[in-house]
Amino acid sequence: MYHNLWGMFPSMQALSAECFCPISAFPKILQDVDQWDIENEADMRKIFDITKTRPISGSGPVPLVDGNNVEITTGFVSFWRYYNEEIHEIIKEINIKLWKSLLERVIKHGVQWYMMGDFLSRFMVDIGAYSEEFYNLMKSIKKTVDPNMILSRGKFNFWGEK
């Protein structure tokens, strides 16, 4: 639902991630996203109190990827810190907190992210989503292909950034 509302209000943005999962896990993930929304009502209310618009969470279009897997675009739409000609740092702080908590919750279902920008790639490392052996393999491939660390600087914390 949130996906279809991008741009509904000026300065609303999607905080989302795209992944795929076995079709059998899909209903449970949707239920968990709904539960996450309920559990985070207090933080969403803080944004509502400023903007008079509540963040909207959910899952967007869900095409079949292959045989048994579906694609899930999940997240929420919220205002950023600039609203009504004022900057509200609290909105940005709440959005980042909510985004991280939703991503970590969905990760626990064993999804596979296929669109990982700087934020999600670093977040996956920060929460320990990769085994040490797999992370070191990725790091060695990066060092071989891009020894000067020119491409996609900082992704997956390859510079040791947290």
111 plus 137 within the same structural domain: no
Residue 36's pLDDT is what?
Answer: 95
Domain that holds residue 12: 2-115
- The CA–CA distances, whole Å, from 125 to 62, 121, 122, 155 equal 26, 7, 5, 10
pTM score of the predicted model: 0.81
In a domain, 96, yes or no: yes
> How does pLDDT run across 55-109, given as a tens digit for each residue?
988 876 667 667 788 888 888 889 888 888 899 999 999 999 999 999 999 989 9
Considering the domain architecture, whether residues 105 and 150 belong to the same structural domain is answered as no
Domain count, the chain: 2
CATH number of domain containing 21:
3.30.300.330
- 137 occurs within a structural domain: yes
What end-to-end distance do the CA atoms of the chain give, in Å?
Answer: 32
Whether residue 120 is contained in a domain is answered as no
Q: What is the pLDDT of residues 115-136, one digit of tens each?
A: 788 888 998 899 888 899 999 9
Q: What is the pLDDT of residues 31-69, one digit of tens each?
A: 999 999 999 999 999 999 999 989 988 876 667 667 788
